[in-house]
A and B are shown apart, each in its own frame.
Chain A
Amino acid sequence: DAMVIQNPRYQVTQFGKPVTLSCSQTLNHNVMYWYQQKSSQAPKLLFHYYDKDFNNEADTPDNFQSRRPNTSFCFLDIRSPGLGDAAMYLCATSRDLVGTYGYTFGSGTRLTVV
């Protein structure tokens, strides 16, 4: 089945130690998104890629970076994780920028910062 896969499912990192989360997709969708979701809150969009074009949300901290080396893969890099960055990180894809066919989400990566 075509899908969005996130690795790892759980990630524990030390305060200030760089960490990378991974997302891959077999849907061949043009757009890939990274969301942050904290407990009992709605997902918050961090940034997205449309093909190779990167779009950062205005309120996304500089501590968060992303890379999309090819259509299938997208990475979220947190340069210096703080305790406030502990959250569920969700990767999503859509075929086009307006979400004509909806969005497909991965299973998420739960990040713990110690």
Chain B
Amino acid sequence: KQEVTQIPAALSVPEGENLVLNCSFTDSAIYNLQWFRQDPGKGLTSLLLIQSSQREQTSGRLNASLDKSSGRSTLYIAASQPGDSATYLCAVRRGSEKLVFGKGMKLTVNP
């Protein structure tokens, strides 16, 4: 059974820091991995999607990497801003099985 872990569960940093958010999964036979952002009381916003054949994806200040063999993905946020404060979730898909989420990491960026 696929399990997805995000550690730590919460992180508080001052504005301007470069951040690395971690996501680990137990079964490396994934189809793809997606990073989401969730603001309080809101739905999920897709940030980046990495296919199993890819090593990384970039969008603006965000960069996500994937290392299937070690069962890890990292989301890198450059020059963090207070507006980046949210919960970040990663989710993996293995073939026709359902999407499996981590519990998320709550990020607070302080001005």
* Chain B residues in the interface with A (C-beta under 8 A): 31-32, 34, 36, 41-46, 49, 89, 91, 93, 95-96, 98-99, 101-104
- Say yes or no: is A6 at the interface (Cβ < 8 Å to chain B): yes
The answer to whether B31 touches A42 (Cβ under 8 A) is no
Query: Count of chain A residues with Cβ under 8 Å from any Cβ of B?
Result: 23
Q: Give min CB distance, B73 to chain A, whole Å.
A: 14
With A and B bound together, what is the CA distance between A101 and B51 in angstroms? Answer: 9
> Inside 8 A of B49's CB, which chain A residues have their CB?
101-102
Q: Which of A42, A45, A88, A104 interacts with B46 by CB under 8 Å?
A: A104
With a CB–CB cut-off of 8 A, which chain B residues contact A98?
31, 93, 95-96
- Whether A6 pairs with B99 at a CB distance below 8 angstroms is no
Known: A101-B49, A102-B46; 17 extra A-B contacts, CB below 8 A, are A42-B101, A42-B104, A43-B101, A45-B98, A45-B99, A57-B98, A90-B43, A90-B44, A92-B44, A98-B93, A99-B34, A99-B99, A100-B31, A103-B34, A103-B46, A107-B42, A108-B41
Contacts of A102 in B (CB 8 A): 32, 34, 46, 49
